[in-house]
Structure 1
Amino acid sequence: MSRQPTTSSAALEADLDTDLDADVIVVGAGPVGLLLGVELRTGGARVTVLEQLAEPTTESRASTLHARTMELLDERGLLDQLGPPPPGGTGHFGGIPLDLTVADPAHPHAGQWKAPQTRIEAVLHRRAVALGAEVWRGHRVTGLAERPGCVEVEAVGPDRVPLRLRAAFVVGCDGEKSTVRRLAGFDFPGADATKELLRADVADIDIPGRRFERHPHGLAIAARGPDGTTRVMVHEYGSTPRHRSGEPDFAEVAAAWWRVTGEDIGHGAPVWVNAFGNARRQVTEYRRGRVLLAGDAAHVQLPVGGQALNLGLQDAADLGRRLAAQFGDRPDEALLDGYHATRHPAGQRALNNIEAQAQLLLGGPEVDALRAVFAELLRLGPVPRHLAAMISGLENPYPARPHAPARQHIITTATTHRRTTMGTLTGKTALVTGSTRGIGRATAVRLAREGALVAVHGSSSREAADEVVASIEKDGGRAFAIQAELGITGGVHELFLALEQGLKERTGATDLHILVNNAGVMGGVAPEDVTPEQFDRLYAVNAKAPFFILQRALGNMPDGSRIINISSGLTRFANPQEVAYAMTKGAIDQLTLHFAKHLGPRNITVNSVGPGITNNGTPVFDIPEAAAQMAALSAFNRVGETDDVAAVVAFLAGDDARWITGSYLDASGGTLLGG
């Protein structure tokens, strides 16, 4: 019996008229393909995994797990089955020591951890099969064709008899020489390797341990494993990759080791030998119709510091929830398209930092000065935190599981039982204008607490914005400061130059998911005393700037983003001293209404929030009599706090508010309710 998947788009030609052999065929039973199988089965999709090798590999090409991957495995209850993994010691950047725990010292999995790839594959295989995934070994894919409503896969099994399978989707997790990538015609631009490391696991040798030891003629690394074998890696400065029909033989590795270190390891017994280089390639799209790629099938890079394995596992975790959702009650093609939008920048970011590490690690004496300067930079607090977060994957969006609660993800460590709540906005980016004080500051802090990377904007004081950022980072959030004066010619352009630069540096892209138009100026002038200059200033900052900020932001905002405009309760009740100000906020409400209609086809929500009397820190709120008079205007008999309004904004910024748009949300605490 087979069931037919449904999708939300005619572009996927979902009117299937034939049974399928599986909902998803995954090609490749390495760690990436097996984790994807686990995710898909957890989400209810029928999965067949095709693997060319008849038996699992005995080669542990990778063994390092980083904090983000540990989170993902912990969430799935897999860490105990992995050992749990022991700590992996200090990390590095291009061979220069880097303590990865500084990325987030409070993180339950801060640092790096050791788990051989063979063990990871065994654990994931056992889980995938227990969940009902079919894993077919000894099956080599030979053909691939997308048909209306499905993909046909041709393969040859262990008995050399060809077979043909049909599935709604096919995912290539078949490594850097991916057959799926080639057959589906993915573009794979980049550069071939210019430098090479020889690597071998060797038994029966006894040599000193070496960690990125630089010699006059090359680089040497040696580490003895728990089984008594020693992994050696060697690079000769100035050497280029050799053209071989297969892997190098052990004699070549031993000769290079002798030339670099002067040690003879030729008498050892090689368990495994290979060579790898700094090739750098990435597909231009992670999805083509019903065919998708993950792991090294989508990106090839120097396997330094374990990033390749971690990047691939994070690809699988992100894709799994999106793909499984296509077979549920609410299939969403836009959700599936989000896989490329999320993982392509993450892959590009990793490839860039790995190439930088390759130059530092494999360069000869010509990079010594650069290494010295880099070592100095790594002693400056923000630099190691930034690089450690990048390597650990903590700056990338956290993929939710298909069945995970919508509002949070709970991660529990087996060793400390520490519980960490992942925010509802983890992986999102936000701009809050006018966020150095009052409601804007409270909103920036709240969005960061929910996991967003927040651009904190100040109009006149960069120092004030820096202070808010420091406060957010002290509490474990992520933020950066930008400065631009609004209401003047070129102000919006200046704002977005700084915003895009900050986003690019931290995420590798310029996507903006949440815009909060908060910046504004008050009037406080009797109607008869308002001058044309004051009126123009109010409109320039409070109405004109938000319009053009919103207009400019649309080029950065993916479908499904959120726009929240801060209006005012003064559009609902009268205060003649603020008539001009209230008029500008009335314009904000119209901005909200009309753009909500305009952006509905993109699933972008646009709403406005109307605060009432809110304690923004001005001296009047410290006068008991005045505070009591203001509190009496609220149904709750108290003055509003900035956190009260920030909580409403955070709700509108999250997924739970996806069905609200074009609305004015009264956040005045019932000011003058019924009056």
Structure 2
Amino acid sequence: MPKTVDDDGGSAKIDVMVVGAGPVGLLLAGDLAAEGARVTVVEQLTEPTTESRASTLHTRTMDLLSDRGILGRLGRLPNGGAGHFGGIPLDLTAADPDHPFRGQWKCPQTRLESVLQQRAIESGARIYRGHRLTSVTDSGACVELKTVSVDGGRQHTWTATYLAGCDGERSSVRDLGGFEYARVPATQTMLRADIAGIDVRPRRFERLPNGLAVASKWPDGSTRIMVHALDAPARLSDDAPTFDEVVAAWELVTGESIGQGTPLWLNSFDNASCQVTRYCRGRIVLAGDAAHQQMPVGGQALNLGLQDAAALSGALRDCIANPSTGEGLSGYHSDRHAAGVRTLANIRAQTVLLLGGPEVDPLRAIVTELLQFQAVQSHLAGSISGRAQTKTRVVESSTIATAPNTPKESPDMSSLTGKTALVTGSSRGIGRAIARQLAAKGALVVVHYAGNVEAATETVELIEIDGGRAFSVASDLSTPGGVHELFLGLEHGLKERTGRTTLDIVVNNAGATTPEGVAPEDVTPEEFDRLFAINAKAPFFIVQRAIGLLPENGRIVNISSGLTRFANPGQVAYSMTKGAVEQITLHFARHLAPRGITVNSVAPGITNNGSAVFDIPEAVEQMSQLSAFKRVGEAIDVADVVTFLATDEARWITGAFIDATGGTLLG
């Protein structure tokens, strides 16, 4: 437990005094104490904060935590999904595709602070809460600090060999220590709140005519919202915004009312950009937000601070061990000041893209085009993740969490950033999994559905929660005008979001089967015509209509079925339609090859589509015996195959029948 001064009078000799018991200060204290340094931490707050302002950990930070054995203490961390650059999808795995911590990971700040505090205490660090710093004096041989207790006003004097200011953007150490601060003033503000009792759809950096809106659900059911109104002046007050301010801004930007909710936390941040000119002055040194202030875009602030702390612990350790050299802190400044300059410039660029009005749309379009190039992806992903290409490290798999039927980071596939994709029948099942996988790789996905608007909306929301982009289009492909209706909605949606109607990827997934229990002799002409309309006629005319929108090297994937190779009399009419699909693939592959467009068929076998039969263990066991792997397929199994065929790596495959039955056709 953290101590009070009365526990030992605060008289113990101190090598390093750390001001600030946030993640940066606690990581630094734990590092130094673990190496035998005498470390004391003072913090103004009497209790750890319950606010999780930051929750994203990037690759370099995960490395640092893993090296210190901290990841094991944190437990399994969920993958943070796709990243972004100024709200434009960016696959952060591109920085180092083979790294075990590629991408980004989620860990609430409250959890991280708790683990870091316990580690620091176990290593021997002394932590005193409820003390406000009032003065700092660097004598050249040591640093003298004075604090006052926040509960009773008692004063106390401390003496340390070095002082580390890790006390945030309103740093007392920075101000009392006389550090120079270069500042670019704020011109824009983002309001942020956690609200209970509201029901708004998830939004991932949704740019609207009046501003920007972000919304996501917390596990406890409350909603984190962030909103920026385009014409609103920057808030110059350090006070938290009122709930009325947040409600008014949200309604202005989205048209939705959230006033019925209960605010749990209110906060604002702006686009001010500040950095001290020197990270050290004599025996006083700064780390984290005490040294630099930036807009919290993409989770870089916490990561930059933790990386400061990791570098500073090494520098201070060297200074304590070799006091005569005096080179450690100078090297720390050179390294971390340069890293801060790069990161702050990166964040300012993202802020322009994210919070700008219509005037930045041309710039966003150009950045989106540039992100199609692997070198650009790798460079920008590396600038955010804090890691260039390195050798793969071996770590315990228990630190990484994955789940079936959720998008997986697939480092062996090139990114689809800047691409557009149509997936028919993608409101649920295999189609939904394909849509999510394509979006996870960066594609803007058109989610087609026939009539289940709730399911389609859920697919779009899942994609947005994962960090991707999608919109839905309804059309009944069993009707004569269904394909035309589909492409009217598709072209309008693409034009609105990208400024053009280019369609890079077409996945013909929508399909209908013969109702269960209908014998071949009982299939009616009407049912026969319905199956062919949806399963064969619609794919033909979708490909025909898409030809004019597909660029060079486009991709078409038609979903067939293992039943074209495996007898099941109850589905004879359905199997005939899928045989027709394979003929569409064969002949269009030859027709479109001169343009570099590939056309392939993927044939699933028994695949869990969420229907009731897959909830019956005995039925699942019986179906599993048909697969060489002795299990039923999951939608993600098929989606991964389709996603591969959509990438550049599959450029030499066309006209192929891909068996995705899990070995069912092996006999």
Taking structure 1 as the reference length, what is the TM-score of the superposition? Answer: 0.56
Give yes or no for contact 1:75–1:411 (8 Å, CA) kept in 2. no
Given residue 82 of structure 2, which amino acid in structure 1 is its aligned partner? T
The one of 152, 160, 163 equivalent to 1:167 is: 160
Q: Which moved more, 1:101-110 or 1:237-246?
A: 237-246
Give yes or no for contact 1:40–1:324 (8 Å, CA) kept in 2. yes
Q: CA deviation at 1:204?
A: 1.2
Residue 347 (structure 1) aligned with residue 340 (structure 2): yes
For 1:253 and 1:384, locate their aligned partners in 2 and report how far apart those are by CA, in whole Å.
35
Give yes or no for contact 2:29–2:120 (8 Å, CA) kept in 1. yes
Q: CA deviation at 1:276?
A: 0.2
Q: CA deviation at 1:60?
A: 0.6
Per the alignment, do residues 193 and 100 of structure 1 end up closer, same or farther by CA in structure 2, a change over 3 Å counting? same
Give yes or no for contact 1:75–1:410 (8 Å, CA) kept in 2. no
Residue 220 (structure 1) aligned with residue 203 (structure 2): no
Across the aligned residues of Structure 1 and Structure 2, the Cα RMSD in angstroms comes to: 2.0
Q: Deviations over 1:187-224 (max 9, x none)?
A: 00121111110000111111100000011111000010
Give yes or no for contact 1:80–1:414 (8 Å, CA) kept in 2. no
Give yes or no for contact 1:27–1:172 (8 Å, CA) kept in 2. yes
Residue 79 (structure 1) aligned with residue 77 (structure 2): no
Correspondences of 1:115-514 after superposition (within 5 Å):
115-157=107-149, 158-244=151-237, 246-328=239-321, 332-395=325-388, 412-415=395-398
Q: Deviations over 1:355-377 (max 9, x none)?
A: 00000000011111110111111
For 1:35 and 1:46, locate their aligned partners in 2 and report how far apart those are by CA, in whole Å.
15
For 1:80 and 1:264, locate their aligned partners in 2 and report how far apart those are by CA, in whole Å.
43
SS in 2 for 1:180: helix
Q: Deviations over 1:127-182 (max 9, x none)?
A: 00111101100010000001141000000124311000000000100111110001
SS in 2 for 1:412: coil
For 1:210 and 1:301, locate their aligned partners in 2 and report how far apart those are by CA, in whole Å.
23
Q: In the alignment, what sits opposite 1:519?
A: none
Q: In the alignment, what sits opposite 1:67?
A: 59
For 2:342 and 2:164, locate their aligned partners in 1 and report how far apart those are by CA, in whole Å.
22
For 1:385 and 1:24, locate their aligned partners in 2 and report how far apart those are by CA, in whole Å.
38
Per the alignment, do residues 132 and 416 of structure 1 end up closer, same or farther by CA in structure 2, a change over 3 Å counting? closer
Residue 98 (structure 1) aligned with residue 90 (structure 2): yes
For 2:211 and 2:319, locate their aligned partners in 1 and report how far apart those are by CA, in whole Å.
51
Give identity over the alignment, percent: 56
Q: In the alignment, what sits opposite 1:556?
A: none
For 2:238 and 2:83, locate their aligned partners in 1 and report how far apart those are by CA, in whole Å.
34
Given residue 145 of structure 2, which amino acid in structure 1 is its aligned partner? V
SS in 1 for 2:200: coil
Per the alignment, do residues 411 and 178 of structure 1 end up closer, same or farther by CA in structure 2, a change over 3 Å counting? farther
Q: In the alignment, what sits opposite 1:549?
A: none
Q: Deviations over 1:425-464 (max 9, x none)?
A: xxxxxxxxxxxxxxxxxxxxxxxxxxxxxxxxxxxxxxxx
Q: CA deviation at 1:341?
A: 1.0
For 1:163 and 1:395, locate their aligned partners in 2 and report how far apart those are by CA, in whole Å.
46
Per the alignment, do residues 186 and 39 of structure 1 end up closer, same or farther by CA in structure 2, a change over 3 Å counting? same
For 1:33 and 1:414, locate their aligned partners in 2 and report how far apart those are by CA, in whole Å.
28
Per the alignment, do residues 231 and 324 of structure 1 end up closer, same or farther by CA in structure 2, a change over 3 Å counting? same
SS in 2 for 1:166: strand
Given residue 42 of structure 1, which amino acid in structure 2 is its aligned partner? A
SS in 1 for 2:181: coil
Correspondences of 1:28-43 after superposition (within 5 Å):
28-43=20-35
Q: Deviations over 1:60-113 (max 9, x none)?
A: 110000000000001111112223211000000000010100111001100000
For 2:398 and 2:238, locate their aligned partners in 1 and report how far apart those are by CA, in whole Å.
47
Q: Which moved more, 1:244-253 or 1:191-200?
A: 244-253
Residues matched between the structures, number: 390
SS in 1 for 2:89: strand
Segments of 4+ moved more than 6 angstroms? none
For 1:247 and 1:307, locate their aligned partners in 2 and report how far apart those are by CA, in whole Å.
22
Q: CA deviation at 1:410?
A: 6.7
For 1:409 and 1:374, locate their aligned partners in 2 and report how far apart those are by CA, in whole Å.
29
SS in 2 for 1:415: helix
For 1:347 and 1:245, locate their aligned partners in 2 and report how far apart those are by CA, in whole Å.
23
Given residue 260 of structure 1, which amino acid in structure 2 is its aligned partner? V
Given residue 356 of structure 1, which amino acid in structure 2 is its aligned partner? A
Q: Which moved more, 1:408-417 or 1:115-124?
A: 408-417
Given residue 337 of structure 1, which amino acid in structure 2 is its aligned partner? S
For 2:142 and 2:41, locate their aligned partners in 1 and report how far apart those are by CA, in whole Å.
16
Give yes or no for contact 1:108–1:413 (8 Å, CA) kept in 2. no
For 2:382 and 2:28, locate their aligned partners in 1 and report how far apart those are by CA, in whole Å.
24
Q: CA deviation at 1:329?
A: 6.2
For 1:170 and 1:124, locate their aligned partners in 2 and report how far apart those are by CA, in whole Å.
19
Given residue 222 of structure 1, which amino acid in structure 2 is its aligned partner? A
SS in 1 for 2:62: helix
Give yes or no for contact 2:95–2:102 (8 Å, CA) kept in 1. yes
Given residue 21 of structure 2, which amino acid in structure 1 is its aligned partner? A
Give yes or no for contact 1:71–1:411 (8 Å, CA) kept in 2. no
For 1:358 and 1:295, locate their aligned partners in 2 and report how far apart those are by CA, in whole Å.
20
For 1:216 and 1:120, locate their aligned partners in 2 and report how far apart those are by CA, in whole Å.
38
For 2:51 and 2:232, locate their aligned partners in 1 and report how far apart those are by CA, in whole Å.
26
For 1:216 and 1:75, locate their aligned partners in 2 and report how far apart those are by CA, in whole Å.
46
Give yes or no for contact 1:74–1:413 (8 Å, CA) kept in 2. no
Q: CA deviation at 1:56?
A: 0.6
Give yes or no for contact 1:32–1:173 (8 Å, CA) kept in 2. yes
For 1:410 and 1:46, locate their aligned partners in 2 and report how far apart those are by CA, in whole Å.
32
For 2:23 and 2:287, locate their aligned partners in 1 and report how far apart those are by CA, in whole Å.
11
SS in 1 for 2:346: helix
For 1:277 and 1:148, locate their aligned partners in 2 and report how far apart those are by CA, in whole Å.
37
Give yes or no for contact 1:238–1:364 (8 Å, CA) kept in 2. no
For 2:303 and 2:90, locate their aligned partners in 1 and report how far apart those are by CA, in whole Å.
18
For 2:392 and 2:283, locate their aligned partners in 1 and report how far apart those are by CA, in whole Å.
29
Given residue 61 of structure 1, which amino acid in structure 2 is its aligned partner? R
Q: Deviations over 1:272-303 (max 9, x none)?
A: 01110011011111110000000000000000
Q: CA deviation at 1:409?
A: 12
Q: In the alignment, what sits opposite 1:612?
A: none
Given residue 213 of structure 1, which amino acid in structure 2 is its aligned partner? E
